Amino acid sequence: MNGNNESVESKKLKVALIQMDVAIGEPEANFSKAETLLEQAIAHTERPDVILLPEMWNTGYALPQIHELADRGGEQTERLISAFCRKYRVNVIAGSVSDLRGGQVYNTIYAFDRKGNRVADYSKIHLFRLMEEEKYLFAGETVGAAQIDGVSSGMMICYDIRFPELARKLALGGASVLFVPAEWPHPRLHHWRTLLQARAIENQMYVVACNRMGTSGKTDFFGHSMVVDPWGEIVVEGGEEETILHASIDLAAVDRIRRTIPVFEDRRPSLY
């Protein structure tokens, strides 16, 4: 799919967003909580097709200790999530985790299919200087694309949403849904909501964004996880409490809206 001509399959995806608190520097506590919340998400009357976790849910931003705390090659994450996916036949985009590979720590999303196979990964390419990510983490070098039940999807992490070029590249590559795990703090709630809606409107795709809540040190995280449709309308939005959000997204709307306002066909990239 080139973002504008081929039809998006006429189907719906039921999504669940796990808006959770994260215990900074306590991976075992976080893995235990994530397992409990995953069980709650799958037990919902509207059984989800895909579940999304927030950013750095395994350790939080315990950056000075991150080398010791990070998941080695995503192995602990894979053990938990793969078994869960096989048991319940569900897709999980495992938020992002601090992930130690080759002696370097990355902020990495791992995506798993209904059989528990790891089908995609994406390491955050834009490191957030305000939280000193660049001092402790290494940036990824590839974009995040995945197939979720045959649906072309994109993956971005938190600060990435300030870079519209990345979302557009994913949309031009065929993405109908953009999954965004985040740890986005106060006082920038207005930025969070506006940027997510902008990415949805300009790329005419769904944005499914899961933000953590709670407090780490002096930083308060506000939650407000949300699903935004291709018109920029908010389908569902959380508050600041720990919660699990559920929504059904109509993928046929992506194709319909891209035909109605053919922005991909009307682009003039030779001029910009």
Is 12 part of the annotated catalytic residue set?
no
The pair of structure tokens assigned to 160 is 């990435």
- Is residue 55 annotated as part of the catalytic site, yes or no? yes
Helix H, strand E, coil C: the string for the chain is CCCCCCCCCCCEEEEEEEECECCCCCHHHHHHHHHHHHHHHHCCCCCCCEEECCCCCCCCCCHHHHHHHCEECCHHHHHHHHHHHHHHCCEEECCCEEEEECCEEEEEEEEECCCCCEEEEEECCCCCHHHCHHHHCCCCCCCEEEEECCEEEEECCHHHHHCHHHHHHHHHCCCCEEEEEECCECCCHHHHHHHHHHHHHHHCCEEEEEECEEEECCEEEECCCEEECCCCCEEEECCCCCEEEEEEEECHHHHHHHHHCCHHHHCCHHHC
Of the residues 124, 133, 183, 210, only one is catalytic, namely 124
C-alpha closest to that of 177 among 247, 98, 85: 247
Q: Which of 33, 85, 133, 158 is catalytic?
A: 158
One of 33, 55, 133, 210 is an active-site residue; which one?
Answer: 55
Is 85 catalytic? The answer is: no
What are the residue numbers of the active site?
55, 124, 158
